[in-house]
Amino acid sequence: MNRSTARIAAAAALLGLVAGPAFAQDWPTYGGAPGGGQYSAAGQITPENVDRLEVAWIYRTGDFSNGEDGTRKTTFEANPIYADGKLFVCTPYNRVIAVEAETGEPQWSFEPDPPLPRDYDQQHSLICRGVSYWESGEDGPCERRIIAPVLDGRLVALDARTGDLCPDFGTGGTIDLNADYPRLGTGVVNVTSPAVIFEDLAIVGTAIGDNQAVDMPDGVVRAFDVRTGAEEWAWNPIPDRFRARSGAANAWAPMSVDTDTATLFVPTTSPSPDYWGGDRAPNLEATNAVVALDARTGSELWVRQLTHHDLFDTDLPAQPVVADQIDNGTRYPAIVQATKTGQLFVLDKDSGAFRFETRERPVPQSTVEGEQTSPTQPIPVAPKPIAKQGFAPRDAWGITPIDRLWCKREAERYRADGLFTPPSVGGSIQMPFYGGGSNWGGVAFDPVRRLIIGNVMNLVQWVRLIPADDDPAGDGELGRQKGAPYMMRRGVLLSPLGVPCNAPPWGALTAVDIDTGETRWQVPLGEVPLAFGITGPDQWGSPNIGGPIATSTGLVFIAATMDAKIRAFNVWTGEEVWEHDLPFDGAATPMTFISERDGRQYLVIAAGGSALLRPRLGDALVAFRLPKGR
């Protein structure tokens, strides 16, 4: 037995002694547990036998679009849950499907009425990240419920046994979250992430379009009675006196809850409009913040802002993870928050205080007339960033000297003053780009080995402000920011060969010690397809969408990359120990569970690709397991 294997065996033995019922072998909720963490105590798949994993079944949902017929492209980001002996998953069109966990055979299917239009006018793609499960403890119709989001702002309650609507929930089984915003039209408030279930409450955030207007809907978080659909409480991140000047600050990413203390943790976004803050309040404290609420009442307990007066679209994109930190032998309750800036913040769970030294550092100031800039931003001394920070022309990279020179000259056209370079009329460079750093895939937390494991993208973007009365023609994504004096355009800085102008790796996987803040390892993640059928070397990594999971045996599983593979890594070293081809890119977070029926461990990934990464999209739900006898 080598040293690494011995450490894994010792940790697994420790887990058996200390874990008890605290660590589940099933996956009943998004992220594996109410407090997130993307960790499983299921222990049949080990570093010694992982290379024997084989496909158990593949289920094709039929719900996808490449955009070839003029419909919106789909992105299959769902994290399935395992409850009541079945797998439950939602498709990008918000169809909910229950499948037999051991065979992939469909048990029932529900599509909202009216069905979500295949050309639904959502900003980027059609998305559903997951559904939620609740049970009363009684027997009978709708005593086990699936609470499912619909992208157009509906929330539905289904009988988990049959897929039928629960008629006592809302109006005939449905709540319309847009009912509070009739003046803005239908479907302005979207839902892309699953509701948090706490006791008899379904708590839901919203997705609100970026870069569209000053006066966007407020990012209200609401709790509904899971039986009746009655609203129990609502919390608004935008104070009354500022609502005419801003909106959003919503929680589109998954939220989490500490069931022991009845505390809800909400990751909020930037206020509207994203790239212009001159008409906003100097700082709205509950924006770009982890906010702790009393889960029963919605009362605000504490707020910890991680980007001041955001001008960069640095939403908190990931589920806050309920964890703990050991400092000088004392265990402290903690929250881990991954960010688009590629920083990891470890906060005190009870107060929101920083658990590691975090300094308010001076940042570049805006030169745009009428804009205001926060003079400082909070930067943790530890952990060190897990994504690259900032980009200058001297950092330009290319496959050939010619495209490297092109990238350098292109970068010289922009303002480039490092992390938090504000947008400008002449154009600015920002890195990480608006997709992160970290995104909604978040981080896994191994509570035994004391490691936070997260994936990031390393891509550089340009952003340019355009006076509202100018011609907006140009390349890149246009945000009109209606009501602001400036529109904006942005895009990834690419060479003429279509590759990023910053040096690889463009995707990486990192493990950080939660107790010391030290980076234990970082490795490139995935291989990126280039032009003419060429694949970049594995040292280059791949842009990625999705997240990792960790297991009790010392494995980290992740897909997420553009090469249509799922991989396993040794949690101690970052060494890749297994990979397997998928029908499409696995732009999702895997899950794992021990089947109630056959007692075997399954690994499941939604493999349908991402419209944000490349056009080859699909609809596969893929399950792996060890052969009998292992």
Active site residues per annotation: 313
Residue 484 gets which letter from DSSP?
S
For residue 296, CA distances in Å to 175, 224, 228, 234, 512 come to: 20, 10, 16, 11, 33
Residues 612/435, Cβ–Cβ less than 8 Å: yes
Per-residue three-class SS string for 308-320:
CCCCCCCCCCCCC
Tokens representing 371 are 């804009």
Give Cβ neighbours of residue 28 (< 8 Å, ≥ 6 apart).
81, 82, 83, 133
Residues 614/623, Cβ–Cβ less than 8 Å: no
Radius of gyration of the chain (CA): 23
Tokens representing 382 are 């530890």
Q: Torsion angle, CA of 416/419/423/428, rounded to 10 degrees?
A: 20
Query: How far separated are the first and last CA of the chain, in Å rounded?
Result: 19
For residue 163, CA distances in Å to 33, 157, 273, 470 come to: 23, 9, 39, 52
Nearest Cα residue to 531 out of 496, 502, 565, 493: 496
Residues 450/516, Cβ–Cβ less than 8 Å: no
Q: Characterize the bridge pairing of strands 549-551 and 39-40.
A: parallel
Report the alpha-carbon angle 94-97-100, nearest 5.
160
CB atoms within 10 A of CB 443: 30
Residues 509/526, Cβ–Cβ less than 8 Å: no
Nearest Cα residue to 565 out of 609, 504, 506, 503: 609
Phi-psi domain of 472 (left: phi exceeds 0; alpha: psi -120 through 50; beta: other) = alpha
Give Cβ neighbours of residue 182 (< 8 Å, ≥ 6 apart).
none
Q: DSSP E strands: which ranges in 124-220?
A: 126-127, 132-135, 144-150, 154-159, 174-176, 189-190, 196-198, 201-204, 207-208
Q: Torsion angle, CA of 615/616/622/628, rounded to 10 degrees?
A: -140
What does residue 629 show for φ and ψ, rounded to 5 degrees? 90, -15
Residues 519/510, Cβ–Cβ less than 8 Å: yes
Rounded Cα gap, residues 394 and 387, in angstroms = 18
